Structure 1
Amino acid sequence: MVSFFHQDWRLNANSEAEAVAGQFVEELKPEAVLLVRRDARMLHERLSAERITTLWSGCVENGERFFLNSRLTDGAEWVRQVIEVCDAWLLRHPHAATLSEADRYEGRELDGRVRNTITEFADWFDRDMVQALAECVDRCTPDLAFRLLLQALPTASVAASPHYRDLSREQYARLASLGREFRYGEYVVSDVEHLAHA
C-alpha cells in the first residue's frame, strides 16, 4: 500500500483513496486486496491514530506532507478509507478467496529479532517513528512492523539528503536473512538493496 504513493501520485488521482483504487485493477487477484485490507484493519484496530500517522508519514515518499496537503485528518481516518476501498473492490469481485499459509504467517517468534533490527536503525528515524515501529511489533505483528521498516529505510535515506544514509553489506545481509525467515518473495527485501554499499 505504501508503494502506491510515489512523489507524483497526484498526477493520476484526485484523492488518496482514488490512488489506492487505481492500483486495484479488475484482473488483480483478490488475495492482493485482502492483504492490503488486513494490514489496514490491523493498524486501525490496534494502534492509535497518532501512531498510524507517524508510521505512514515515515514510510511514504514526502510523507511529512501527506496529511498536510490533504483532507485527511490523521492516520486512522486514512486507513479507514483504505479499508472502504478494499471492501468496495471485494464486493465487485465476490470470488471465494483466502490468504495462503505464508500470507497468514505473523512471525511471532521473530519479535525479538525485529525489535533488535528496529533498534539497529534507530538513528535513521526520530523517536516517534522508532516507538511506533516497536509498538507495531507488540500490538500488530512482527511481520507488519518489519515490512514497514523496509518501506521506511529508503524514505529516511532520501530525507537525509544530500548526505544519504547507506546500509552496510552486513546490515543488508541481516535484513535479507530476516526476510527469508518471514518467507518473503524475491522483491520484498531486495527493494532496499540499492542502499547497501561495500
Structure 2
Amino acid sequence: MASVDHLSADEWSMLGYDTSHDDRGYAEELREDVRGLVESPPADEAIRAVWRAAAGGGWDPAAHGMSARDRLRRIDETCAARPPRKVPGRRPEPSSWWGAWRPAADEVRDDVVAGIAGIAEAAETRSCRERSAGFLPSPDILSALEEVPVRVHPELGFRLFLRALKVYSVRIEKARYDRFQALGERFGHPAALIDLGLDIAWPPIDTARRDATWDFGFSHLAGQAHQDWRDSRGEIRKTAAGDDFGQTPGSAAAVLLEDTLRLLRSALPDAAVTALWTGASNSPGRTDSRDWLRLIADVCRERLREAAPAYTPAVAPARTELADTVLREVRETAPAVADKAASPHGHPVPATDVMDALEHVVTRIDPDLGFRLFLRVLITLSVPLTQEQYDRYRAIGERFGYGEYHVSDVDHLIEAG
C-alpha cells in the first residue's frame, strides 16, 4: 500500500486540496471524492482523462500498469491509514455537504456543464496564433470533465474543472470569472478557491467601477488606522495592495490615490484635513496633513508601478448629483455630536470641526468620498441611528454603487426600536 509521502503534490491537489499546510489534514474529504469517482458510471478512460487533466499529465496510471480506478483505490487506502482530521474553515463534513445542493441539483449541474461547454466553444473559436501561445484542454478531456457533474457530483465536477483550467493556464475573461465566483458561492466555496492560480484577463483599472465588497479608498485606509501605527508607509502599503477578489490588480491603489489627490489638490485647510482624518480614523491627528497625503499618494504610485504599470492615474470628475442628499444627512447628524470629540484619549478634535470638514468635502470636493468618510465618522463618534436613517444610508450607498457590505459597517449603531 502506498504511503501518504508517496503521493505526489499533483495527486493531492487534483481534487482541489491545498497540501501546503496543516499536514495534509483533508483525508476524509479526499476519500469522499475518490469513492465518488470509483463508484461512478463513467468509463475508466473518462476518469483517466479527468485525472490527467487535473494532475497536469504528470502521473499517468496507465503508464504504471494500472487503471485510473486502481490508482484512486490506492489513494483511498492511503487516506484510510491516517486518522481523520477536522480542519477549521473547510466545507462541512461529507455526510452533510453531499446532500446540501440537492434542492437545486439540476440547476447547479446544468450551470457547471454550461461552464465547461463555454470553454469548449471558446477553444474552438481561438485563432491558430492563440492556440500556439499555450495549451488548451482537448475536446476529449472537456467531454470527460462534463461527465463528472452529470454522473458523479456537480460540486466535485466544478472543482475538477477549475483545476484543469489552472493546469492548462486557460485565460478566462472577467465575465466568465464572475460567473465562476457566483457558482462557487452557491457551493459555499471561498473566493480564493476560484481565484488563486486562475489566469484571468483583467479589464483595465477603472476607478469609477465600484466592485469592492466593503469600504475602499481613503475612507478604508482611515478604517484600518489604529493608535499604534508605527510604520506609516507599511500600513498604507497594506491598504494599497489590498485588492479584493474580482478586482483588477492595482484597483485598491488606484481608488486610494484618486481620493488622496482630490484632497491634496483641494482648498481644504490643513487643520480641516487633520480633523477629517482624526474623525474618520479615531487615531491621533497629524500636524503634517499635506505631507501625510503626499506619502499616501507616493505609496499608491509605487504599488501601481508594480501591479499595473500601464495605468495612468487621473482624477475623474466628481459625481455631484447626490451632493444635496449627502449634505442633508451630515447636517442632520451634526447637532447630535456637537458635544463629542474624536480621538478623546489622544489629541481630541471637536466633532464640530470634523462635521465642518465633512461638509466641505461633500459640497466642494466629492460627495461620494464625503459620504464614505461620514460613515466612518459615525462609527468613531458612536452615533446612535434609527432604522429609518440606516435605510436611507443604504439607499445612498446603492445609488453610489457600493458593495454588499459597505454600509452595513454601521448597522451595529441602530438603536433597538
- TM-score of Structure 1 vs Structure 2, range by shorter chain: 0.7 to 0.9
In structure 2, what is the Cα distance between the partners aligned to 1:58 and 1:45?
Answer: 20
Note the C-alpha offset of 1:191: 0.6
In structure 1, what is the Cα distance between the partners aligned to 2:312 and 2:379?
Answer: 31
Structure 1 position 42 matched with structure 2 position 42: no
| 1:85 paired residue among 294, 299, 307 | 299
Q: Is this contact kept in 1: 2:241–2:303, CA < 8 A?
A: no
Normalized per residue, which structure has more helix?
1
Q: Is this contact kept in 2: 1:166–1:196, CA < 8 A?
A: yes
Unaligned runs of 5+ in 2: 1-220, 339-350
Note the C-alpha offset of 1:144: 0.6
Name the structure 2 match of 1:136.
361
SS in 2 for 1:187: coil
Q: TM-score, normalised by structure 1?
A: 0.80
Q: Is this contact kept in 1: 2:275–2:357, CA < 8 A?
A: yes
Q: Which amino acid aligns with 1:182?
A: F
CA offsets 1:24-62 (integer angstroms, 9 cap, x no match):
44877211110000001111111221111110010103x
Matches for 1:41-60 after TM superposition, within 5 Å: 41-46=261-266, 47-60=268-281
Q: Which amino acid aligns with 2:319?
A: G
SS in 1 for 2:265: helix
Which protein is bigger by CA-based radius of gyration?
2
Which ranges of 4 or more aligned residues in structure 1 deviate by more than 4 Å? none
Q: Is this contact kept in 2: 1:40–1:79, CA < 8 A?
A: yes
SS in 2 for 1:144: helix
Name the structure 2 match of 1:3.
223
Larger RCO: 1 or 2 (CA < 8 Å, sep 6+): 1
In structure 1, what is the Cα distance between the partners aligned to 2:295 and 2:412?
Answer: 32
Q: Is this contact kept in 1: 2:254–2:300, CA < 8 A?
A: yes
CA offsets 1:49-97 (integer angstroms, 9 cap, x no match):
1111110010103x2x243xxxxx3321111110011011112223444
Name the structure 2 match of 1:18.
234
Name the structure 2 match of 1:168.
386
Structure 1 position 107 matched with structure 2 position 319: yes
In structure 2, what is the Cα distance between the partners aligned to 1:114 and 1:4?
Answer: 23
Name the structure 2 match of 1:124.
337
> CA 1:26 to 1:144, structure 2 compared with 1: closer, same or farther past 3 Å?
closer
CA-atom RMSD, angstroms?
Answer: 2.4
In structure 2, what is the Cα distance between the partners aligned to 1:187 and 1:7?
Answer: 25
> CA 1:27 to 1:115, structure 2 compared with 1: closer, same or farther past 3 Å?
closer
In structure 2, what is the Cα distance between the partners aligned to 1:153 and 1:105?
Answer: 26
Q: TM-score, normalised by structure 2?
A: 0.40
Q: Is this contact kept in 1: 2:253–2:300, CA < 8 A?
A: yes
Identity of aligned residues (%): 32
Q: Is this contact kept in 2: 1:4–1:20, CA < 8 A?
A: no
In structure 2, what is the Cα distance between the partners aligned to 1:153 and 1:16?
Answer: 24
In structure 2, what is the Cα distance between the partners aligned to 1:26 and 1:134?
Answer: 29
Q: Which amino acid aligns with 1:44?
A: L
